[in-house]
Amino acid sequence: MTNSLKSYALEACAACALALLAGCGGKVDPAREFASGRSAFENRDWKKAAQHYRKGLEASPEDVDALMMLARCDLALGEIDSAAESVAKVAGTNGSDVDVMELGAQIAFYRKDYDAASKAYERIANDESLSPAERAVGWAGLGVVDYMQISMNPARPELRDKARTELLRATQLDKLNAPARYHLGLLYRDSFGFVEAAKEQFDFFVHLNSKDVVDERVQNVQHVIMPKLREEIARKAASRPGVAKRDSVGCTAILAKADALRKSGNLKGARAAYEEALRKDVLSYPAAVNLARVIEESDKSKTGAKDAYKAYRTACELSPGDVKSHIAAGNLAIKTEQFASAVLLYSRAVASNPTDTTAIDGLIRALRRSNNAKSAAVYQHYRDTLPKRKK
């Protein structure tokens, strides 16, 4: 054999071997394809990942995990029908698995079949055989479904409250549930107007996703949503009348005098001193809240209730997260028949402490007095299903 013939034969053998390795004329290695698909999925290359999973499934069409991953890829690509087909194949044998139910619910949601999505999420949320974190997925899903329907159903204001309580249940079962934190932040910002409560939830969301520098939602919260919330909070404080003439040193001195007068039983003198302290520093929460308390203690008349309520409202504005002040203000709002204001105050208290039964009961009472029976029923259900505290 000449050198040229030897060379040709060697090249032909090598080409044949390479063809076999590449799958040409040979069998597809599903394990290799699935591994490549997983790698591409982790790199957010959904299209490439889907191609690998489809190729692997040609050789192993019943692989449940691969079908689920293909469905996730297709969902990320917006191929809803293809994703549904994959999940349907899995549901025949694994329909009770949490991840199968959840993915089915997501597909129904993106199809805008909200009833089907809710039913699937309810099944997860109410299955007490599941772990708290798994049930939290169901509650968070229910909250998102109801949140998305708020703007489409202006005649159903209770949807806002339903979404809220569902998202709260999710965070109570699993405080690390990021979707619940994110949507609760949106809900407090856009539907309730609770800027500080929204910021708290978004802070939590960013903390949970601090290692994910790629996710567009995380980037938007960090660089768009949070700066705007901080600006709004600062603007609220700066817009209070008298803020430019604050005398915090003078306020502190008068507060000490007011506290001493109150302790000695001179409530009239204490009230005057707290009023003076608040004039010195319009951002002094101690001056505002103690003024409210001393008025409430010393004047039981209708006028006194109105004055105390006004002072408590100032305290609430200065410290939006103070549960006790909001409950006290809510109680006075009920007493003075300002029921809409009572709803707002109790609701803000619930935002600060979602398991405070005094605040929840006050909110239910205020909603009923405001003729909002449907929202009251939502919070009553939430109240009745709160985990019992150990004594």
Are 122 and 62 within one domain? Answer: no
Work out the pLDDT band at 18, boundaries 50, 70, 90: very low
DSSP label of 244: G
On the question of pLDDT at 1 being above 50, the answer is: no
- Residue 200, H or E segment: helix 195-208
Which range marks the domain in which residue 328 is found? 320-391
- CATH for 383: 1.25.40.10
Category of 261 on φ-ψ map: left (φ > 0), alpha (ψ -120 to 50) or beta: alpha
Are 124 and 165 within one domain? Answer: yes
Average pLDDT over residues 220-247: 95
> Could you tell me the pTM of the whole model?
0.87
Extract the tokens encoding 88. 């349907």
Are 334 and 366 within one domain? Answer: yes
Extract the tokens encoding 68. 């689920």
Are 69 and 124 within one domain? Answer: no
Question: Environment class of residue 239 by beta-carbon count within 10 Å: exposed (0-12), middle (13-18) or buried (19+)?
Answer: exposed
Helices (H) and strands (E) in the chain, counts: 21, 0
Residue 212 phi, psi (nearest 5) = -95, 95
* Domains contained in the chain, number: 3
Work out the pLDDT band at 3, boundaries 50, 70, 90: very low
Residue 264 falls inside a structural domain: no
Condensed to tens digits (0 to 9), the pLDDT of residues 260-308 reads 999 999 999 999 999 999 999 999 999 999 999 999 999 999 999 999 9
Work out the pLDDT band at 5, boundaries 50, 70, 90: very low
Place of tokens 């001056």: 287
pLDDT at position 111: 94
Work out the pLDDT band at 27, boundaries 50, 70, 90: confident
Q: How many percent of the chain have pLDDT more than 90?
A: 86
pLDDT at position 20: 45
Rg (CA), the chain: 30
Residue 379 falls inside a structural domain: yes
Are 85 and 120 within one domain? Answer: no
Condensed to tens digits (0 to 9), the pLDDT of residues 335-365 reads 999 999 999 999 999 999 999 999 999 999 9
Task: Report how far residue 132's alpha carbon sits from residue 130's, in angstroms, rounded to the nearest whole number.
Answer: 7
Residue 152 falls inside a structural domain: yes
DSSP label of 43: T
Condensed to tens digits (0 to 9), the pLDDT of residues 83-142 reads 999 999 999 889 889 999 999 999 999 999 999 999 999 999 999 999 999 999 999 999
Query: Torsion over CA of 250, 255, 256 and 257, rounded to 10 degrees?
Result: 90
Helix, strand, coil share (%) of the chain residues, nearest 5:
75, 0, 25
Question: Environment class of residue 77 by beta-carbon count within 10 Å: exposed (0-12), middle (13-18) or buried (19+)?
Answer: middle
On the question of pLDDT at 229 being above 80, the answer is: yes
Work out the pLDDT band at 214, boundaries 50, 70, 90: low
On the question of pLDDT at 24 being above 80, the answer is: no
Task: Among 95, 122, 150, identify where a domain stops.
Answer: 95
pLDDT at position 26: 57
Are 117 and 9 within one domain? Answer: no
Question: Environment class of residue 287 by beta-carbon count within 10 Å: exposed (0-12), middle (13-18) or buried (19+)?
Answer: buried
Q: How many percent of the chain have pLDDT more than 70?
A: 92
Task: Among 63, 95, 127, identify where a domain stops.
Answer: 95
DSSP label of 97: S
Half-sphere exposure of 50 (CA within 13 A, CB side): 16
State the SS3 of 311-323.
HHHHHHHHCCCCH
On the question of pLDDT at 8 being above 80, the answer is: no
Least confident of 212-221, 264-273, 373-382: 212-221
Question: Environment class of residue 15 by beta-carbon count within 10 Å: exposed (0-12), middle (13-18) or buried (19+)?
Answer: exposed
On the question of pLDDT at 235 being above 80, the answer is: yes
On the question of pLDDT at 322 being above 50, the answer is: yes
Residue 273 falls inside a structural domain: no
Helices assigned H by DSSP within 46-125: 46-59, 64-77, 80-94, 98-110, 114-125
Task: Report how far residue 282's alpha carbon sits from residue 343's, in angstroms, rounded to the nearest whole number.
Answer: 26
Work out the pLDDT band at 19, boundaries 50, 70, 90: very low
Average pLDDT over residues 168-185: 97
Better-scored residue on pLDDT, 3 or 229: 229
pLDDT at position 57: 94
pLDDT at position 15: 43
Q: Do residues 350 and 171 touch, judged by C-beta distance below 8 A? A: no
Q: By three-state DSSP, how is residue 253 classified?
A: helix
Work out the pLDDT band at 7, boundaries 50, 70, 90: very low
Q: What is the mean pLDDT of the chain?
A: 91
Are 202 and 232 within one domain? Answer: yes
Residues 6+ apart with CB under 8 A from 19: 25, 26
